[in-house]
Amino acid sequence: MLYGRISCMSRLFTSKYLVRLLIFSLLIGTVPVVTLGTLSFIRAKDSVQQKVNDSNMQLLQQTQMNVEQVLQLFENLMTQYVGTLLVREALQMSITARNFEMANELAMGLNKLQPFELGAKNVYLANHKYGWIISNQGYSNLDNSDMKGAVQSYFNAEAASYWTSVTHEPASGVRLIKKLPLNSPNTTGVIIGELPAYSLEKLVFNESADRETVILDSEYRLLTQPQSRVIQSSDELQHAIESIKQSDNPALGYLTFKTHNETIGVMYRSSDYNGWKYLSFSSVSDITKDSRSIGWYTLFVCLGVFLIIFILSWAGSKRLYSPIQRVLSFAVGEQSTDDHHKDELQLIGDHIHSLRNSQTELRDQLHKHSKQLEAFFIRRLLHGEIRPKETQERWAQFAYDTQPAQFGVMTVQIDNLENSRYSESDLDLLMFAINNIVSELIPATNRLEPVVMVNNQVTICRSSIVEGRDYGNDLYQYAERIQATIRELLHLKISVGISRPFMDINDASHAYKQSLEALTYRVRFGEQVILPFDSVLPDTRIAAAYPDWLEKELIEAVKMEERDKARDILKEFIQKVLVDYPRYYDFQMALTRLLIDLIREWQEAGETMTPLHVSGKPINEHLLELKTVEEIEEWIFHNVIDPMMAALHQRWESQNKKISERMLDMIHSKFESDLTLELCASRLNYHPNYIKTVFRKETGSNFSDYLSKYRLSVAKQWLVETEMKITEIAEKLQYHNSQNFIRYFRKMEGMTPGQYREKHR
């Protein structure tokens, strides 16, 4: 009995659909519970945190009020004191031993400013003008007092009344400074009230072990010392101060930071009275102690609910699965055990689909072959390979409308793939996609089956005859819609050629040729155009004469290596031919003539190789592949003109180098003769101006300068190595006057030939 139950449960768990049903039921039941419990815990945690923060802020505000109450009381007492007639008179005179009574009265007044409740440490009254100071220690000269430096700094401060910390040691106390007389630009003295740090610490609420409060002045310096209950080191305190400085609101707020042991929360306020900062530190882990207990309670409740949901889900899933199990046994039988990777519904669905496929497979095959036969018929019709009688038979076979209609042929071509994301290998897929788009955009009642002809997509459109209606407009609208859709979906630029409307379907082949011819006129209109045959067909006027003058200017610019000028003339030539030769094939013949003349000039210049980089095709086939004026211009310039200029430049440089080398040889061998530029030109069979330019370009020096410098180098060698007289050297170097030689030598070397001989011997 037990074995049977175990076997039954194992079969149930091997059922994928049952397991999925059970998991789905568990998710429906547990996700809301877990979500609700999580949100409740987060809400409770945030509520506890907010209440603790509100409590700390109230305590911090109470601390601030207590401190500021004492400070304001102390300031009021000092203000009343310095406003008395005695103090005003004392500030206008010098106190000496004679008027000791006034000094005693002033000291008694200062003692009254230090009641026990305030905890004041000392009060100083100093007269900077007359150099005296009075405090609890009595009267003394300001120059001899320890307070001289402090009094001087307070006297020079800009503020008339302010609180400051005692800076000679950390957290030693604060001082209230007031310049005297009050509200007067002519300051003669100051009164200084000093409160020790322990008096401020008495006013701070630091009773709780998990919270402590510190006070900082307006410059973020410590006025009270932390009790090390929460803040364990000065680095932690400094980190909190830096965080407050960088916060968006340094005047009021709450922030947390992590230490080595725990997370600490900082509640801070800034005083409007004196700019002091009140900071309350508390341990976040202690605050969230109650929240953790709430979290554990929520977790246990969720686990209990999950157990109840699991039991209910198991019972319900098993009950819902039993009808599916019966259907599976009836529909599939024993085959269900063969496909372990599929669940029960998939197995049932596969067998139902197999039945439906077996019923429709034959019909789909017939429909597919019918579409292929229809496309084959359209291609033969466009090529003119079908007789009118066969056309009628196919028309009836494919159930076309036999009513009289107008027809038109639209041919779609892709303009360019260079600047697109496609390559030539994608062309077949692109034509297939374009064919499908055309099939969707033109209703089936208004067209025959669209087909792909080599690199063209061709559609025969049809429409019922309506009197007064121009069917060409309908064809143009179809073309616009196709062009816009392909640009949006495939990001391709296409052009569309449209034939004349015709009535007899047997004229489709002639109309197809018209659409192809219309597309050739993209050379005039550029890319992404719609070209109805009647609109682009030029008139039959006689073409103008061939622009020989532009061709000659172009050849001259190529020979002179004027690259920019050659490009401009080529562009002008193409535009001229485009205007004068309206028919596309006449335009092609003019461009072919230009290329032949350029190649002839190339060969007449002595080159045997063609400048065309591309090979394997005649020139006219290359031109036929170009579709726009820009492509034609770029192809001719890049493949013909550029290589010609480069080859001519290389040949010119090689020739010039030989000329300059021969001239140098003549100078080095004939320097003792009466050698001139004209003599060299006659021996080299070139014009003097030409060889003058070549020599200067290759050597960087004029002919005469180079000859003179070379003769000078020979003269220097003869002066050192031979006993020749200076007059003999001058005569051999073709100087008719030795003085001219001496002057030139002195100019170039800074000494006479005789001095040069003595120096170098």
pLDDT tens, residue by residue, 142-155: 888 888 888 888 88
Burial 467-502 (b: 16+ CB within 10 A, else e): eeeebbebbbebbeebbeebeeebebbbbbbbbbbb
Highest mean pLDDT among 50-64, 399-413, 620-634: 399-413
Higher pLDDT, 75 or 7: 75
pLDDT tens per residue across span 88-132: 888 888 887 667 788 888 888 888 877 766 778 888 888 888 888
pLDDT of residue 168 exceeding 60, the answer is no
The answer to whether 274 and 39 have CB atoms below 8 angstroms apart is no
Helices (H), 442-470: none
The predicted model gives 202-219 an average pLDDT of: 78
Tens-digit pLDDT profile for residues 421-468: 888 888 888 889 999 999 999 998 888 989 998 888 999 999 887 776
Residue 512 tokens, joined: 């197809």
The backbone torsions φ and ψ at residue 422, rounded to the nearest 5 degrees and listed phi first, read: -105, 165
Mean pLDDT across the chain, nearest whole number? Answer: 79
Residue with tokens 């998710």: 27
User: Looking at residue 450, what is its pLDDT?
Assistant: 93
User: Which CATH architecture group holds 206-287?
Assistant: 2-Layer Sandwich (3.30)
Dihedral of the CA atoms 242, 245, 249, 251 (nearest 10)? 100
pLDDT per position as a tens digit, 261-300: 678 888 888 888 888 888 888 877 666 666 666 777 777 7
A 10 A CB-CB count for 12 gives 16
β-partners of residue 281 are 212, 266
CB contact at 8 A, 687 and 726? no
Q: What is the DSSP letter of 543?
A: P
The pLDDT assigned to 10 comes to: 47
| Residues 580, 582, 585: CA angle, nearest 5 degrees | 110
Please tell me the least confidently modeled range out of 48-57, 305-314, 359-368, 390-399.
359-368
pTM of the model: 0.39
Tokens of residue 476, six digits: 């143009």
In angstroms, what is the C-alpha Rg of the chain? 54
- The answer to whether residue 741 scores a pLDDT higher than 50 is yes
Cα angle: 592, vertex 593, 597; to 5 degrees: 120
Q: Report the distance separating Cα 499 and Cα 178, nearest Å.
A: 103
Is the dihedral angle over the CA atoms 736, 738, 742, 745 positive or is it negative? positive
In the sheet that holds 277-283, the strands lie side by side as 211-216, 277-283, 263-270, 252-258
**Helix, coil or strand: residue 402:** coil
408: confidence class by pLDDT, cuts 50, 70, 90: very high
Which residue type occupies 718?
A: W
Give residue for tokens 């170009």. Answer: 626
Secondary-structure percent of the chain, ordered helix, strand, coil, rounded to 5 = 60, 15, 25
Who has greater pLDDT, 748 or 598? 748
Same-fold call for 83-200 versus 206-287? yes
Q: Which tokens sit at 736?
A: 């008719």
257 beta partners? 264
Domains of the chain, residue spans: 83-200, 206-287, 339-398, 401-536, 548-653, 670-760
Which phi and psi angles does 290 have, rounded to 5°? -70, -30
CA 302 – CA 305 distance, rounded (Å): 5
The pLDDT of residue 366 is: 54
Of 409, 526, 538, 532, nearest in space to 473 by CA: 532
> Is residue 620 classed as helix, strand or coil in its secondary structure?
helix
| pLDDT confidence of residue 97 | 63
Identity of the amino acid at 484: A
Q: Provide the 10 A C-beta neighbour count for residue 128.
A: 21
Instruction: Give SS3 for 224.
Output: coil
Could you confirm whether domain 83-200 is CATH 3.30.450?
Answer: yes
Is residue 643 within 8 Å of 613, Cβ to Cβ?
yes
Higher-confidence residue of 501 and 208: namely 501
Helix (H/G/I), strand (E/B), else coil: 67: helix
Instruction: Please identify which residue in the block is written with the tokens 């430049």.
Output: 649
- The 8-class DSSP code of residue 205 comes to -
CATH of domain 401-536: 3.30.70.270
pLDDT band of 607, cuts 50, 70, 90: low
Query: How large is the average pLDDT for residues 664-680?
Result: 83
Average pLDDT over residues 633-642: 81
pLDDT tens for residues 522-542? 777 778 888 898 777 665 454
Q: What is the pLDDT of residue 621?
A: 66
- For residue 333, the model assigns a pLDDT of 61
CB 133 within 8 A of CB 125: yes
User: Percent of the chain having pLDDT more than 70?
Assistant: 82
Whether a cis peptide bond, with omega within 30° of 0, leads into 185 is: no
| More confident site: 334 or 287 | 287
Say if CB 588 and CB 624 are below 8 A apart: yes
Asked whether residue 543 carries a pLDDT value surpassing 60, the answer given is no
Q: Using 50, 70 and 90 to split pLDDT, how confident is the model at 325?
A: low
pLDDT of residue 458: 94
Q: Is the pLDDT of residue 496 over 90?
A: yes
Q: What is the CATH number of domain 670-760?
A: 1.10.10.60
Which comes out higher in pLDDT, residue 736 or 15? Answer: 736
Angstrom distance (rounded) from CA 433 to CA 414 = 12
Can you give the pLDDT at residue 359? 64
For residue 19 the two structure tokens come to 């397991």
| Lookup result for tokens 């042991």 | 261
The Cα 663–Cα 665 span in angstroms is 5
> Which of 13-27, 151-165, 366-380 holds the top average pLDDT?
151-165
Residue 5 has pLDDT above 60, yes or no: no
Task: Please give the Cα distance from 323 to 328 (Å, whole number).
Answer: 9
The mean pLDDT value for 681-700 works out to 78
Residue 629, both tokens = 């004026």
Q: Which residue intervals of 560-672 are DSSP H helices?
A: 563-580, 584-604, 619-625, 629-636, 642-669
**Residue 7 — very low, low, confident or very high, per pLDDT cuts 50/70/90?**
very low
Lowest mean pLDDT among 79-83, 149-153, 324-328, 395-399: 324-328
- Most confident region among 287-296, 380-389, 615-624, 684-693 by mean pLDDT: 380-389
404: pLDDT confidence band, cut at 50, 70 and 90?
confident
